[in-house]
Amino acid sequence: MKASEIRAKFLGYFERNGHKIIRSSSLIPSDDPTLLFTNAGMVQFKRIFTGDEASAFRRATTSQKCLRISGKHNDLENVGETARHHTFFEMLGNFSFGDYFKKEACRFGWEFLTEHMNLDVDRLYVTVFKEDEEAYEIWRGMGIPERRLYRMDEKSNYWAMGDTGPQGPCSELIYDQGAGVGCGRASCDIHCDCDRHLELWNLVFMQFNKDENGGISPLPRPSIDTGMGLERIAAVVQGVHSNYDTDLFRAIIRRGEKLAGLKYGANNKSDTSLRVIADHARATVFLIADGELPSNSVRGYVLRRIMRRAARHGKLIGISKPFLFEVADAVIDEMKDAYPEIAERRDYIKKVALAEEERFLATLDRGMAIYQDEAKKARAAAKKTLPGHAVFRLYDTFGFPSDLTRILAREDGLDIDLNGFETEMEAQRERARSSSDISAALGADRRDLGDIRIIGEKVGATRFEGYNATSLRSAIAALQVGGSETGEASGEGTPVLVFAKATPFYAESGGQVGDKGRISGKGFEIEVRDTFKATPELFAHDGVIKSGKARVGDEADFIVDMKRRAATARNHTATHLLQAALRETLGAHVHQRGSKVEPDRFRFDFSHLSAMTAEEIDKVEDRVNEKIRENIPVEKIEMRHDEAVKRGALALFGEKYGEFVRMIQVDGWSRELCGGTHVDRSGDIGYFKIVSEGAIGSGERRIVGLTGEGAIAYMRRREQALLEAADTLKEGEPLALPDRVRKLQDEIKKLRKDLQQARSSKSPGADPMSNVKELDGVKVLASRVEADDVNQFREISDRMMERLGNGVVVIGAEIGGKANLIVKVSRELTDKIKAGDLINQLAPIIGGKGGGRPDMAQAGGPHVEKLDEVIRTAHALQLRKASY
């Protein structure tokens, strides 16, 4: 039975038993800051289990994409070494939200495994928590003999969502793979740590709640959360003892075999590498498809570690060129039926994978040279550990994750100083924190909401009426001042949060800022300065008392600032047109990664690997303005989520959507799921202008744009700046300014060149070619020169290399009171001589350190008086380093 059949049978079985099939959520949790990645099937239902979110269904079943990479769940280094360690995997699960409980959960589990997976009942064992008599008796009542029913302790059979919150005992279904698997001891049973007795399915009985004081009380609605790894059940059903031997991996491993020219199963070491590549290719594909990109951010760094470990294992089995993007193709072909989004984003996934691997391979050889140097030093000093600063340098400069350095060190019989590495990392984080105002900005935005749950339970979900009205009359349902609920609020200038059962005010979400306006009642007025969601369903009007006294129960007019709302709507609809134009111009890989929609401007973040050209920006801008001029109706359609997806509606990466969604459609050209406010016709936008486009991360770009009056005002400011520049340069026609500026630049370059030649002619024997000597059969030009700035210093090095031809150039200069060095190596020699190696021999003389490319490296230091010594030393350089 194929894994795809197992997945379908599982979902179908539970659907027939009253469960709603829910599609897998993203690997990036949408509303859970406690998790890096979705690591279990229950993650998308967490708020339902805690009671913070209502559910339209009482039973659900999923096949959930999961990723585990740290802590107790997984050690990255074990992936590929064992039969069952993975980064990415699928978890099959069935869930009850206060509906059925232990008896039904046990019956479903046993029935599915024995009747639908046809597992031998004599090989199945069951575990229960030692204090859970109820579960024990349920299994006994189902005919499970005591010899196959085990009581286990809290460590293995008790589950908790966290330090507080829902928790409860577990029951596990265990499969005996037979005496030929594992330790082989006659006494082997389910307590043994070997691989013979395999945990297949964990049934969690959520029946208790733990409060902040450690007290445990019964939950009013006990629930069920189960999880079974698809890879594990596939291995059992297909009769193999390793997940990597299932059909989920075979085609992916075959692609690795072909690229490496190897046969899987012929060599343990190469087999490990092929398993690593297969697993990491799956994680790479799904993380990129769900919107993550390799970077030095927390999640991005995890992806980067996974990809670079795969690249390293490719090198180990003889694959010298980028290959991961080709293995990604096999992953997509294998899993596109279950997860069509990966096929839709195939080209983008491959581009990201190729770019990251090329970036890593470009630094791998240089990093390996540094690693070998450090390993050599450690051995020479009779040490068994690489120092933390060396591990950090490999990470910070060459992109070597610490676990990759650990693997290299282990191969050389060494360990690494992880504590020292973490010390260096924390110092870097502290530098980043001190140089950034992000933390301060976040801190300034925090609001004291007190115990908002009490208000939420009292008021209920806020009904948003703002799609059809910008004002309405509603009663004040609750007030909060200084984080405390109050019955009344007064005093001019007093900050107050106002809650109502219905409001026309839009609460900040989906990138759109909250509405401003006023709340007016008999004898009082409140200025609303912002609207936000205190909980996912409760809107808070953040205001200040302007006059009078407001009381809970008072009727009031809730009035939105219409001018501000209209400007925000223009910008919001413009982001939708922008995304459609970007996808049309750059490709279907473009997806929104985030946005900030305000009344005076918007920013739009999107996935794309390179800077947009001026022509592409113009094309996008023209296309959006064309749609604006067509004055197309902007349709807002409520429909089922699956129907919207079928129609091609775009969704925001990582966003969590309900069964029913709101689709914004413009001429069928732009379709997006969106809960924001929008114009009625595209012509209401007026005019659209892109004011900037730039990178905000690896593979992520940002556009800042304007519409309507803001765009017109911006163009007038630009026109005024051109007129002022033309006046300053005495140029009557502003359109002639580019030619005028180019001529001035040419004049400046000529004057600089003349100045340098004049300086050189004043020095006796100034021709630098007189300082050329031959060293190890290589021409070396070493000279001290005069330069006003770094750019001029580089120009001088370029000219000297042109004159020298094939060889090495070393020049020094005093710039801004500091000593500066440049080493250049002609490209014909870079396979044998590296500029970086040479600069490292010279930089310490001036009290500095340097780096750069194989053909050019730079250094700086405080000791200007040592420049002449550097030039003398240059003619005694060790040009060729020993082979690594």
How far lies 633's CA from each of 573, 628, 630, 648, 661, in Å? 11, 10, 9, 18, 19
Q: How many C-beta atoms surround the C-beta of residue 753 within 10 A?
A: 13
Q: What is the pTM of this model?
A: 0.67
State which H helix or E strand residue 284 sits in: helix 268-289
**Which CATH superfamily, name and number, covers 3-240?**
Bira Bifunctional Protein; Domain 2 (3.30.930.10)
CB 416 within 8 A of CB 406: yes
Tens digit of each residue's pLDDT (9 = 90 or more) over 310-355: 998 998 899 989 999 999 999 999 999 999 989 988 988 999 999 8
Kindly provide the b/e burial profile for residues 587-609, where b requires at least 16 CB atoms within 10 angstroms of the residue's own CB. Answer: eebbbbbbbbbbbebbbbbbbbb
CB 465 within 8 A of CB 441: no
841: left (phi over 0), alpha (psi -120 to 50) or beta: alpha
What angle separates helix 346-380 from helix 268-289, to the nearest 10 degrees? 130
Q: What confidence score (pLDDT) does residue 429 get?
A: 62
Tally DSSP H helices, then E strands, for the chain: 25, 34
Query: Which whole number is the average pLDDT over 600-615?
Result: 91
Range among 478-482, 618-622, 803-807, 852-856 with highest mean pLDDT value: 618-622
* CATH number of the domain located at residue range(s) 769-874 in this protein: 3.10.310.40
Q: Which of 89, 145, 146, 135 is nearest to 109 (CA)?
A: 135
Residue 598: which residues within 8 A CB-CB, separation 6 or more?
513, 568, 571
Q: d(Cα 182, Cα 184) in Å, to the nearest integer?
A: 6
Q: What is the mean pLDDT of the chain?
A: 88
Q: Which of 468, 419, 372 is nearest to 680 (CA)?
A: 468
Tens digit of each residue's pLDDT (9 = 90 or more) over 472-514: 999 999 999 988 899 999 999 999 999 999 999 999 998 999 9
CATH topology of domain 567-716: Threonyl-tRNA Synthetase; Chain A, domain 2 (3.30.980)
Q: What confidence score (pLDDT) does residue 122 get?
A: 93
Q: d(Cα 237, Cα 255) in Å, to the nearest integer?
A: 24
Q: What confidence score (pLDDT) does residue 441 get?
A: 32
> Over 70: is that where the pLDDT of 432 sits?
no
> Over 80: is that where the pLDDT of 694 sits?
yes
* CATH number of the domain located at residue range(s) 452-560 in this protein: 2.40.30.130
Domain ranges of the chain: 3-240, 273-434, 452-560, 567-716, 769-874
CB 580 within 8 A of CB 619: no
Judge whether 452-560 and 567-716 match in fold: no
